[in-house]
Structure 1
């Protein structure tokens, strides 16, 4: 008799659900296996337009349905139902309605009397079969993936169980059967992960050489791991934020994609994909060829130094399939004065063909000597193998699938004969000589100019210092700054603000670590902003007016007066000021999320800003403007509203800042005119730019531009080459659909 656990699951008819399957539980039609965190479900599905049914795992909270694993991918259920059971041998077995086995875990527990297998669907998406008494894992779906790699799912070889984990594509969107493409680790030479089309390499991803390696790298909220030791050779990734859903999927066309679920728009957003371009494909430039995808107007392929096209005619016609061959200089490459030329920022050549790790603790010179003494060695590289030692990886045959990067990648030392080595050395010396001559010429010109400029600067600084002192005294700011005490400051109407302290310079210097560059938050037309921390632990932002700033004492006084009088949750809070002699500084509350433009125009950070939060930011800015125009005691026109002047606090609440250009209107005043137009082009209204007329409508126009930028993720000043207009507003006026960059 079978001790069976029967499971008939339909994804669209969840009546009851379990997170653990045992022999004591019987699951009827319409039930499902759900992970404890309600992230994944196990059940039957029909892909696309197919009428066949398959047993698989999908996301619970994602619509439309997204499948991450399929059990019977090559043996579909052709009738109306399927049955999943734990048989007498402890195997999970899938049967059709005629009791024909379609799929099995095939582990066969020997001591079934004392061990009762339990099936669990973990919140990671891993279906696990364990022994109930000792929790030993008998089988898991993470060891047998289909087309999807989930966080913490390993890709590679387990040296103890000999299980090789790899991805294979679906045949089509309607058929999850094993397709033509495979993403698999190749252990020959140095470990690499290949994307194969059948048995033909289609794309290659390099890893790190050496044994006893455990390397972790971070990028955009994710960690990538590579492990090479006596137990396993594998790679995997994890997310810093477990609430974010990501997956790597190999589709039926051979495209490998990293996707992230955007809950705001209910879509999977692509983070990266490969191969996207012709140059990404394996061996595009042939043997001894190097591919440079940045050569837009030229052929992207070029031969390595000392090599030439094997077929010049085909190469001229941009057919690089035959690759390159060594130039015929009449000299041998074996102990005949040859040497190595260093190439930088490369994707290293395929190390699965005639390549070997010849040492794990060799210096670069030792590695070069070892390669030089072997006449078959064509190239070598020194690479970090365990975070401490340096490994020597050498190639003994053709160099293929080399890609040129701009500022990343590895070094490769290519063997060349004595003739090519001499040419390269002479060229390097000429280049170095030119650089030296240029440097000497620049120094001989720069030093006298520097001395003259320094003397002129000292003279102007003294003159400006005297002028500023007179201006401060003349405008009667009447600030008094003494050690450990302060007085009230006089506003334009003669009143004082008792809650606005004057900070001592030594306090600000200590808080900002003497205005250290590491504490610098940004810079604008007024000068620089520095992050600081007071002795009581409070974080502050110090706005330091530059001596060369377009804004002067008048703007400083204006901003100080206005913010001191204005109090609103969507306006930045002024904590005080500091005016030691010719310095002018304002001290604000610190905004940890910086300015709005630093988020909405950064594709990585903007992806975490859902539509609800964007709408809240828009409403917050609108409330701040309404307060300035209507609800405050003073009627204020900001005149410089833009994304960089909207700061975000810890909760992403917007706060309008920078009131240096603001103007006060009388209660019955509707507009004013100026001959000095200030602000930022792209945000200023037409009547203000052309005629100098400004009013509350000017701020509303600026707000509209910010709103468009928040919604589209594009800067107003971005160029739109295919359209007559050169900004975001004009682009929309021509009836075009604005592409969202978020």
Structure 2
């Protein structure tokens, strides 16, 4: 019995030991796959998807990742301490792993490699074996974000990721161009936000003449910084500000190196980013709001695009049009220039002396202050002063201009391209001109002209002033005798002043004027049977002119102060616009107290009647609704980017979308629109206008509006079109306080089908409808920078961008609109149904 017990005990002990051994092996296998510690990779200690390693100070992570809306796997580096992943470097960007079995390791020849499950090498550091000399190498991720491959014995760095950057420039990185070895270290954009493969844009140093930073689109220059002045890039006025200070350009042994001074490298969570649209932005981490924000952008206006105004043209974002010819020059093709096609630039009016031997007068220079100087500047080493710089240019017939900045003389030959006017910064450019075109040419003649013009003009003005005062005094006395009502006198005076101002505007816009009598006949004396609707401006009537043309007449309510301001604004704005998705303003009428706007007639009236009308919503199937969504977006794109003026609508809603006979959408009601000059990105107002439910958070709360304000309104409108529900009809709803809240709830539950209007739902359209819902959620995100612009929206809804990012929480979700009543109980009758336009909101 005893020996049997001993055997049993031995067997139990052996089983326990075997079990412990199996557990240890499993744990070891688990750690090798998921959680091995340290910051170093060797041939024995590799990364297998989804494992990661972290730099010694915990700043950066290295491992496998998938971009948003993609299942492909890449080896990348990203910030470890930040919740919002920002991938700063990708190894196998052009050759992803197609499953989750990838390995990142050291190969037999000592190189870093990315391999798939079949041991196929998808990427390699590709260092020559003669350089490595041994397979005894290791790779380490540093706190700077640099991945280095080094000889394990000597510690010598053989390869590093900083010399093979992708789309982001970290504070410890350097951009280099070596003219002797032709080595170029620049960074290239991703193809799309969901595809890290090599994009078409490249940021690098151009060192053919005076060095400057450039963005290339393929082989073509897309943007340039202006030449290096010794302290900053002349074409970036913000270089002296906090977030762009500290950059240094060193030139040594034919190598040009752009880097950040060591005292600024401590900024951990900051980088320059070349996005897939070719724009460079400085991104900084906002710890309070927990998201990345762009503190600087290279391209803010159309003037920042290379050669926007052609040769010898100058671009000024503050003027309209933005392009003009330099003094002494004229458009090469006048007709094209006047149509806004400035690509062919300008030509000299008068040849220079060296080009015209018959001229006896010397050339001179005209000064352009605070400009981004042209491309391809050349050094002039012999010039020790600004006078020497000027003389050297004048003696060279090919020299078309010069600049002298920080003791550096710059010359330009032949055509001058990419000149931009700044409000501050830049440099002074001296443009070579023929004597006949110089300002100082006819000083005496100008004095005689001044005397001959100013003196008579002063006398005439004085006489007119006396006559005006006498006439005004006579009218005033006459009114006192004839008028019995002081209030009526005041109203008439205001009306006349208003009429004068409006008539001046109308003449300026060359908008046709209609007679009141003709409009009264056309609308049957504004009969109620012809009334189409009523807004804050006043009633709208259908009319038919004597020639048979149908029109819509918007008549200003005499009691509407809001309508008067809208009238002025609408005349100024919409008369300049022409697009198939914008309602066309035919003219206006101004007679006495009557002020009217005449539009093309839309037989199907406004979109809200179809979307929210229970009887007619069935007439709008999904294909028609998609066409309407696409048309509205293209109308917005015209307002924001393609029109001669940049327009922010500020009151985009379903009732302001009209439908023609073919159900094509047309954006209307520009009474609250705001014209943006081309350099403006955002504006503030104390008078918040718009409609509850469509206003973006930053506009409703802070009075800040921009293109992204209209994008937010478009997102609400898109979701209303798909759901057939008003944004504001959810007050008191058991699931949400708004349509946005309801959609967000369904999104988080991954259950969007109940949102879709039953009359439009068909399985074959499901993916397209769900894509549009996701685009709508992207448009109504709370933070401005998270929302896409309109051109991106159009690409998204038309599936040109395949992989869509996941939306963040919409604005106003979980926060009910404030009411003026003291009652805490919701009263459904008191809320707007999107028919009333709000003109003033007290910001909180």
Say whether 1:410 aligns with 2:427: yes
Q: Say which of 682, 687, 692 aligns to 1:720.
A: 687
Does residue 82 in structure 1 map to residue 107 in structure 2?
Answer: no
> Given the alignment, which residue of 320, 328, 332 partners 2:342?
320
SS at match of 1:58: strand
Q: Check if 1:137 corresponds to 2:157.
A: yes
TM superposition shift of 1:241: 7.5
Return the structure number with greater helix share. Answer: 2
**Does residue 247 of structure 2 align to residue 224 of structure 1?**
yes
Shift of residue 318, structure 1, vs aligned partner? 2.5
Aligned counterparts of 1:207 and 1:135: Cα–Cα separation in 2: 39
Deviation for aligned residue 1:198: 2.0
Shift of 1:10: 12
Is 1:339–2:359 an aligned residue pair? no
Q: Distance in 2 between matches of 1:139 and 1:77?
A: 23
User: CA separation in 1, counterparts of 2:85 and 2:840?
Assistant: 29
Task: Judge conservation of contact 1:247–1:259 (CA < 8 Å) in 2.
Answer: yes
Change (3 A) 1:225 1:330: closer
* 2:374 aligned residue (323, 331, 349): 349
Identify unmatched segments of 5+ residues in structure 2: 1-27, 452-683, 692-698, 704-816, 820-831, 833-837
The structure-2 alpha-carbon separation of the partners of 1:365 and 1:198, relative to structure 1 and needing over 3 Å to count, comes to: same
Q: Does 1:364 align with 2:331?
A: no
Q: Residue in 1 aligned with 2:10? A: none
How many residues are matched? 439
Query: 2:299 aligns to what?
Result: 275
TM-score in terms of structure 2 length = 0.47
Q: Distance in 2 between matches of 1:404 and 1:128?
A: 44
TM-score, normalised relative to structure 1:
0.53
1:324 CA displacement = 0.6
Partner SS state of residue 268, structure 1 = strand
- Provide closer, same or farther for how the CA distance between residues 241 and 400 of structure 1 changes in structure 2, counting only shifts above 3 A: closer
Higher normalized strand content (fraction of residues):
1
Q: 1:330 to 1:392 in 2, by over 3 A?
A: closer
Measured in 1, the distance between the counterparts of 2:50 and 2:425 equals 53
Partner of 2:327: 305
Q: State which of 92, 101, 126 in structure 1 corresponds to 2:146.
A: 126
Equivalent in 44, 62, 70 of residue 82 of structure 2: 62
Structure 1 residues 541-588: Cα deviation after superposition (integer angstroms, max 9, x where no partner): xxxxxxxxxxxxxxxxxxxxxxxxxxxxxxxxxxxxxxxxxxxxxxxx
How far residue 33 of structure 1 moved from its aligned partner, in angstroms, is 2.1
Structure 1 consecutive aligned stretches of length 4 or more whose deviation exceeds 6 Å: 8-11, 427-431, 727-739
Alpha-carbon distance in 2 for matches of 1:287, 1:382: 21
Instruction: Supply the distance in 2 between the matched residues of 1:180 and 1:302 (Cα, whole angstroms).
Output: 31
2:284 equivalent among 232, 249, 260: 260
Q: Return the offset for 1:160.
A: 7.7
Task: Please tell me whether the aligned partners of residues 353 and 362 of structure 2 are also in contact (alpha carbons under 8 angstroms).
Answer: no
What secondary structure sits across from 1:206 in the alignment?
coil
Assess, with a 3 A threshold, how the Cα gap between structure 1 residues 113 and 107 changes in structure 2: closer, same or farther: closer
Residue equivalent to 2:671: none
Give, in whole Å, the separation in 1 of the partners of 2:138 and 2:333.
Answer: 63
What is the DSSP-based 3-state SS (H/G/I as helix, E as strand, rest coil) of the residue aligned with 2:171? Answer: coil
In the TM superposition, what is the alpha-carbon distance from 1:252 to its structure 2 partner? 1.5
Aligned to 1:201: 221
Name stretches of at least 5 consecutive residues in structure 1 with no aligned partner.
1-7, 385-389, 435-716
Task: Kindly indicate whether the alpha-carbon contact (under 8 Å) linking 1:287 and 1:324 is maintained by their aligned counterparts in 2.
Answer: yes
Matched, 1:42 2:62: yes
Write out aligned runs for 1:519-558 (5 A).
none
SS in 2 for 1:299: coil
Q: Does structure 1 retain, via aligned residues, the 8 Å contact 2:365–2:433?
A: yes
Maintained 8 Å contact 2:49/2:63: no
Distance 1:114 1:144 in 2: 22
Q: Deviations over 1:626-667 (max 9, x none)?
A: xxxxxxxxxxxxxxxxxxxxxxxxxxxxxxxxxxxxxxxxxx
Retained in 1: the 8 A contact 2:690–2:839? no
Equivalence map 1:137-216=2 (5 Å): 137-158=157-178, 162-208=182-228
SS of 1:370's partner is helix
Shift of 1:356: 2.2
Paired residues of 2:62 and 2:78 also in contact (CA < 8 A): yes
In structure 2, do the counterparts of structure 1 residues 153 and 378 end up closer, same or farther at CA, with 3 Å as the change threshold?
A: same
1:730 Cα shift?
Answer: 10
Offset at 1:167? 1.6
Match of 1:31 in 2: 51
Contact 1:15 1:30 in 2 (8 A): no
* Worse overlay, 418-427 or 73-82: 418-427
CA distance in 1, matches of 2:40, 2:254: 30
Q: Structure 1 residues 407 and 261 mapped into 2: Cα distance closer, same or farther (>3 Å)?
A: same
The Cα shift of 1:403 comes to: 0.3
1:192 shift after superposition: 1.5
2:37 to 6, 11, 17: 17
| RMSD after superposition | 4.1
Q: Partner residue of 2:572?
A: none
Tell me the equivalent position of 2:621: none
